[in-house]
Structure 1
Amino acid sequence: MKVFHGIDELERAVGTHLGYSKWHTVTQQQIDLFADATGDHQWIHVDPARAADGPFGTTIAHGYLTLSLVPMLLWQIYTVEGVQAAVNYGADKLRFPAPVPVGSRVRAGAELLSVAEGPGGWKLVVRVTIERDSGGKPACVVETVSVVTQ
């Protein structure tokens, strides 16, 4: 994990790749729990028997489930010491180029795009790419926007 010792050090890292998270296996239980939490019980996610005859040959994770893994995976990549709080501000350019079949392993890579001082703190923009261990197109690409306060 990359540890930044304050905003000054973080600013010097703009434009660099921060590293990768550990691999995380997406399970059917995780998919089912996400379906329960969001009310999205589409068969392609929660019905293994029907999904076996579907376009992917198995159930797939919800795109928003894949997105929801971002905070957990980013905490494995970097941290900034000396900040009081870090809050999600939003996201830009969200895409789901490829599905995540159940049982897939995914990890995140992160690139620091910008750090800018503004009202309420420092705004950080990080491009997160969630890739599958099977290769090919990424499962999710998003520019996360957070605000940190010192």
Structure 2
Amino acid sequence: MEIGDGAEQEPPQQGSSKARRGMTRVFNGAEALMRAVGEQLGHSAWTVITQARIDGFAQATGDHQWLHVDPGRAAQGPFGACIAHGYLTLSLVNQFLPEILTVENLRWGVNYGCDKVRFPAPVRVGSRLRGVGELVRAEALPGGVQSVVRVSVEIEGEDKPACVADTISRYYF
């Protein structure tokens, strides 16, 4: 990254959440975002997947399959423990993405959708996850830009990611 290209690394402040997670890639407008296509954007902080979080997701969605919510039965099952719902893992992308990149000087932005969502590996209760981003595409829209960021949700200590999704965002300036 060259100085003056409109993309900056935001320095962490002592005690802030950014200091905890490292650097967030900051883009100062549509042009800077479009110039960064193909670049790795960095990663979020780690987050622990607890049984309480899994149970809360089960309650919110009505998905009470024993693989997720019955620790005794799940211990005897194929994964040896309860596992997070795939869609819980996907929903964490919305937590990780603002830790990976920020677009400034905009009026508003929206999640527009996802493409190519996959769940290559199960997430056992107690696992630590983080998101890693790559800017795949950025295209001009009337008054804004649409970006596609491929987010891989890594499981600490595992070779395969828990989830890979191309997230589509629209930013209006």
Shorter chain as denominator, the TM-score bin is: over 0.9
Aligned to 1:51: 74
Contact 2:30 2:144 in 1 (8 A): no
* Residue equivalent to 1:101: 124
Q: Deviations over 1:10-41 (max 9, x none)?
A: 11111000000000000000000000000000
Q: Which runs of 4+ in 1 moved over 2 A?
A: 118-121
Work out the percentage of aligned pairs sharing the same amino acid: 57
Distance change in 2, residues 1:81/1:53 (3 Å): same
Inter-partner Cα distance in structure 2 for 1:27 and 1:133: 14
1:113 equivalenced with 2:113 (yes/no): no
Q: List alignment gaps of at least 5 residues for structure 2.
A: 1-23
Larger relative contact order (CA 8 Å, sep ≥ 6): 1
Residue 14 of structure 1 pairs with residue 37 of structure 2: yes
Mark the runs of 5 or more structure 1 residues left unpaired by the alignment. Answer: none
Q: C-alpha distance in 2, partners of 1:142/1:129?
A: 7
> Structure 1-normalised TM-score?
0.97
Partner-residue secondary structure (3-state), 1:98: coil
| 3-state SS of 2:154 partner | strand
* Two-structure CA RMSD over aligned residues (Å): 0.9
Determine which structure has more spread, i.e. the larger CA radius of gyration: 2
Q: Identify the range of structure 1 (2-11 vs 19-28) with the bigger mean alpha-carbon deviation.
A: 2-11
How many angstroms apart in 2 are the aligned matches of 1:118 and 1:6?
13
Shift of 1:121: 2.9
The partner residue of 1:74 within 73, 97, 105 is 97
TM-score by length of 2: 0.85
